[in-house]
């Protein structure tokens, strides 16, 4: 009982709750359906106990399932690593180059960002992934990327099993006009399986085939995106910061030469920062290897410049209609309903008379920060998200220059 009480702590139970989310439920359901159907169909198509090929096929199938689940659960439960609450740099002079997080009551270390879902500052945050119901960051980046590689490979193997099972079971029963298609299946027909391939089995196999092919394409594309940023020693957020840096330099014609500080020069060196033989990434998540022409705070200084530029180029709007914060509000028009932003970023409810500082937008939606009263500002509250464009009107400024500068950013 003592061992059980030490193992089942509040923190462990809190982590297990990550499974109670639509993302893990769907992901694990797809893995379970594809794995179960592949095992059953492999028994029907290629009995593993009679031939060497059947045994290898069955062992590989089980191996995919184990590796996929191992990396999936590690990505979920190991987590990205969080900046300690109230963290401050050892050298107090470096604080001027860092952003302060009012929620965590501490400074954001280089490459860290505050996640609204996790409500913590995440080390080397790449993104918050709904499929693992956790952030992808410093500690679990390798596990997450390995999962993205193994899932398409396992689903491709399963898809081959599904196709061959349907072919071998239906070829002799139904004439498809495939007179020219001949596959020698004598080796795998030595054993007649006990499980019949009935109509429900065919429907289940066809459904699993669709899931396997869809997963292979979708997750394979995500793997390509992740490897692209890893080989440059970036995260998805840092790629966006770099693009905004180029936009800021071009907009103001400052003549700066922005160098991304964490690119070590070769893809192999960048690759080894994430993937190691021990499974743990290099670094402590606070201090990083940087380009010879840069220093630890090159990127954080750029972020502060972009934050100041964002305040300058934001546009003030005032709510003229109430909005309840619905994701797809039908009452605000069909275009607003169908053109809702495809993102997990929040929507903010509005009451007529609210003031919002908009920073970006589309033709039908806008994104910005709601201007709060002094009491909320002291506490550190911040309300930002998307809202329908038709619910607000632009506030009038004294100078036309401020209007034109803001319109370039938002409209």
**129 in Cβ contact with 123 (< 8 Å):** no
Q: Any residues with CB less than 8 A from the CB of 364 and at least 6 apart, and which?
A: 333, 335, 336, 339, 388, 389, 390
Q: Is residue 93 part of a domain?
A: no
Q: Is the predicted pLDDT of residue 270 greater than 60, yes or no?
A: yes
With cut-offs at 50, 70 and 90, classify the pLDDT of residue 397.
low
CA pair distance 77, 275, nearest whole angstrom: 18
pLDDT score at 47: 80
Q: Is residue 110 part of a domain?
A: no
Over residues 271-291, the mean pLDDT reads 92
Domain count within the chain: 3
Tell me: do 57 and 145 sit in the same domain: yes
CA pair distance 376, 378, nearest whole angstrom: 5
Q: Is residue 187 part of a domain?
A: yes
pLDDT score at 6: 45
Tell me: do 215 and 241 sit in the same domain: no
**365 in Cβ contact with 317 (< 8 Å):** no
Q: What is the pLDDT of residues 49-96, one digit of tens each?
A: 778 888 999 999 999 999 999 999 999 999 999 999 999 999 999 999
Of the candidates 112, 148, 152, the residue with the CA atom closest to the CA atom of residue 129: 148
Tell me: do 161 and 211 sit in the same domain: yes
With cut-offs at 50, 70 and 90, classify the pLDDT of residue 15.
confident
With cut-offs at 50, 70 and 90, classify the pLDDT of residue 174.
low
Tell me: do 160 and 221 sit in the same domain: yes
DSSP 93: G
Cα of first residue to Cα of last residue in the chain, in angstroms, is 63
Domain that holds residue 75: 14-79+141-230
Q: Is residue 107 part of a domain?
A: no
pLDDT score at 358: 92
Tell me: do 332 and 280 sit in the same domain: no
Q: What is the pLDDT of residues 338-388, one digit of tens each?
A: 999 887 788 999 999 999 999 888 899 999 999 887 655 555 567 889 999
Show which of 230, 256, 273 is a domain's final residue.
Answer: 230
Show which of 287, 308, 329 is a domain's final residue.
Answer: 308
Please identify which of the residues 34, 104, 121, 129 carries the catalytic annotation.
Answer: 129
pLDDT score at 398: 39
Q: Is the predicted pLDDT of residue 146 greater than 70, yes or no?
A: yes
pLDDT score at 172: 58
Tell me: do 161 and 223 sit in the same domain: yes
DSSP calls for 92-105? GGGGGGS-EETTTT
pLDDT score at 261: 95
User: What integer best gives the mean pLDDT of the chain?
Assistant: 85
Higher pLDDT, 131 or 50: 131
State yes or no: is 136 an active-site residue: no
CA pair distance 134, 127, nearest whole angstrom: 9
Query: Regarding beta strands 365-370 and 355-361, do their DSSP bridges make them parallel or antiparallel, or are they unpaired?
Result: antiparallel
Q: Is residue 103 part of a domain?
A: no
CATH of the domain at 340: 2.30.30.40
CA pair distance 58, 47, nearest whole angstrom: 9
CA pair distance 231, 225, nearest whole angstrom: 10
Q: Is residue 129 part of a domain?
A: no
**192 in Cβ contact with 103 (< 8 Å):** no
Higher pLDDT, 139 or 407: 139
pLDDT score at 218: 96
Tell me: do 190 and 240 sit in the same domain: no
Tell me: do 214 and 150 sit in the same domain: yes
Q: Angle of helix 141-170 relative to helix 199-230, nearest 10 degrees? A: 150
Of the candidates 218, 221, 216, 217, the residue with the CA atom closest to the CA atom of residue 38: 216
Tell me: do 53 and 148 sit in the same domain: yes
Least reliable range by pLDDT among 6-10, 164-168, 279-283, 341-345: 6-10
Q: Is residue 379 part of a domain?
A: yes
Tell me: do 349 and 302 sit in the same domain: no
Tell me: do 74 and 154 sit in the same domain: yes
3-state secondary structure (DSSP) of residue 361: strand
3-state secondary structure (DSSP) of residue 41: helix
Show which of 205, 230, 255 is a domain's final residue.
Answer: 230
Tell me: do 299 and 333 sit in the same domain: no
Higher pLDDT, 217 or 346: 217
pTM: 0.82
Q: Is residue 2 part of a domain?
A: no
């Amino acid at each position: 009982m003592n061992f059980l009480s030490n193992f089942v702590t509040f923190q462990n139970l809190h982590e297990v709750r990550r499974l109670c989310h639509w993302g893990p439920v769907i992901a694990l359901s797809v893995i379970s359906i594809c794995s179960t159907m592949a095992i059953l169909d492999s028994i029907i198509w290629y009995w593993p106990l009679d031939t060497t090929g059947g045994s290898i096929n069955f062992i590989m199938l089980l191996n995919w399932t184990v590796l996929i689940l191992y990396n999936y659960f590690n990505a979920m439960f190991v987590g990205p690593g969080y900046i300690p609450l109230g963290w401050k740099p050892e050298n107090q002079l470096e604080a001027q180059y860092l952003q302060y997080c009012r929620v965590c009551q501490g400074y954001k270390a280089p490459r860290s960002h505050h996640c609204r879902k996790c409500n913590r500052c995440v080390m080397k945050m790449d993104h918050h992934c709904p499929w693992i119901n956790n952030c992808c960051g410093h500690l679990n980046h390798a596990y997450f990327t390995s999962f993205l590689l193994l899932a398409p490979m396992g689903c491709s193997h399963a898809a081959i099993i599904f196709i061959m099972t349907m072919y071998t079971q239906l070829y002799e029963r139904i004439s498809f006009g495939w007179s020219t298609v001949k596959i020698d299946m004598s080796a795998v027909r030595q054993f007649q399986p006990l499980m019949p391939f009935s109509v429900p089995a065919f429907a289940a196999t066809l459904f699993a085939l669709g899931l396997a092919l869809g997963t292979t394409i979708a997750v394979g594309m995500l793997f390509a995106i992740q490897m692209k940023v890893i080989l440059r020693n970036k995260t998805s957020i840092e790629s966006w910061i770099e693009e905004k840096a180029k936009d800021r330099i071009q907009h103001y014609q400052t003549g700066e030469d922005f160098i991304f500080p964490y690119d070590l020069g070769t893809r192999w060196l960048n690759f080894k920062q994430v993937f190691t033989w021990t499974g743990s990434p290099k670094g402590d998540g606070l201090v990083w290897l940087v380009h010879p022409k840069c220093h630890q705070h090159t990127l954080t200084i750029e972020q502060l410049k972009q934050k100041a530029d964002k305040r300058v180029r934001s546009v003030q709007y005032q709510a003229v209609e109430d909005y309840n914060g619905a994701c797809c509000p039908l009452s605000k028009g069909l275009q607003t309903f169908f053109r809702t932003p495809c993102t997990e970023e929040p929507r903010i409810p509005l009451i007529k008379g609210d003031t919002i500082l908009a920073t970006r937008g589309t033709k039908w939606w806008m994104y910005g920060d709601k201007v709060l009263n002094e009491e909320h500002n002291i506490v550190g509250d911040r309300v930002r998200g998307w809202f329908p464009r038709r619910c607000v009107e632009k506030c009038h400024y004294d100078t036309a220059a401020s209007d034109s500068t803001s319109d370039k950013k938002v409209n």
